[in-house]
Amino acid sequence: MKTMKKLLALTLAVLFVLTAFAGCGGKSSGNKLIMATNASFPPYEYKEGDAIVGIDAEIAAEIAKKLGMELEIKDTEFDSIIGGVQSGKFSMGMAGMTVTEDRLQSVNFSDTYAKGVQVIIVKEDSTIAGPDDLGDVMIGVQQSTTGHIYASGDYGEDHVTPYKTGNDAVQALVAGKVAAVIIDNEPAKSYVESNPGLKILDTAYAEEDYAICVAKENTDLLEKINAALAELKADGTVDSIVSKYIPA
């Protein structure tokens, strides 16, 4: 009888330990801020070795610190970010993403943390001088970005070729598959610097605000992100991070 009691006590003790460990695991995963991005959009997000760095990565790290959470960044295709946030696969999406009416039907957005300018990249010997000259040419864009959305609306989908990354679109321009690329000004600078023979037109194509997307039902996280952003703006952290990558 004593042996049975000892075995029962030992079994209960093991179960208690296993339950405690399971609880700790759940608490840890619940305290993780999983950020979805597309790490081919310098200087907002790009890779240095295996690490994802850039403006968005650093601001997200500061937000996570304010919230007392562990940041994990997941690199994925841009057009899968919103769906992943909706499904709960990711806590938030941060990828130089602009607030649009269409996106607002699927997710909520934080307050803005940076401003973007869409520009046009062409070959140095191109006769294209501005947006008015794009109506009869093929335009390269990164799939599902605002550049893709705006160009399709302005010039028609038959004049737009979407690519998975901005770099793919730029390489198509270099190869002569498209006559121009519409993309954010900051990655445009990197692409032009890396590909001799290209230039950015002086006339901007569009101006926009960048924000963080969060699932519709996750209002608590959205409020916390906005509160953290407000503090990071007020103490100069956001400006410091942006100026580190985009000198005035």
| Residue 26 included in any domain | no
pLDDT value, residue 247: 80
C-alpha pair distances (Å), 134 with each of 57, 115, 128, 155, 174: 34, 24, 7, 7, 17
In a domain, 60, yes or no: yes
Average pLDDT, whole number, for the chain?
Answer: 89
Binning pLDDT at 50, 70 and 90, where does residue 24 land?
Answer: very low
Same domain, 98 and 35: yes
Check the CA dihedral 83-86-89-90 and report its sign: positive
Q: Is 43 helix (H, G, I), strand (E, B) or coil?
A: coil
Same domain, 54 and 74: yes
108: CATH? 3.40.190.10
The answer to whether position 67 is within a domain reads yes
Instruction: State which residues form the domain around 125.
Output: 117-207
User: In the predicted model, is pLDDT for residue 123 greater than 70?
Assistant: yes
Please determine, for residue 11, whether its predicted confidence score (pLDDT) is greater than 50.
no
Query: What digits encode the pLDDT tens for the residues 181-226?
Result: 999 999 999 999 999 999 999 999 999 999 999 999 999 999 999 9
**Tens digits of per-residue pLDDT, 62-116?**
999 999 999 999 999 999 999 999 999 999 999 999 999 999 999 999 999 998 8
* Structure token pair of residue 162: 């979407």
- 190 and 67, same domain (yes or no): no
Indicate whether 35 and 107 sit together in one domain. Answer: yes
On whether both 195 and 153 belong to a single domain, the answer is yes
Q: Tell me the pLDDT tens digit for each residue of 27-68.
A: 324 699 999 999 999 999 999 999 999 999 999 999 999 999
Q: Does residue 8 fall inside a structural domain? A: no
Q: What's the pTM value of the predicted model, to 2 decimals?
A: 0.74
Q: Between the CA atoms of 240, 121, 162 and 146, what dihedral angle is there, to the nearest 10 degrees? A: 40
When divided into structural domains, the chain yields a total of 2
Q: How many Cα atoms within 13 Å fall on the side-chain side of residue 32?
A: 16
Tell which wins on pLDDT, 30 or 142: 142
β-pairing verdict for 114-123 and 206-210: antiparallel
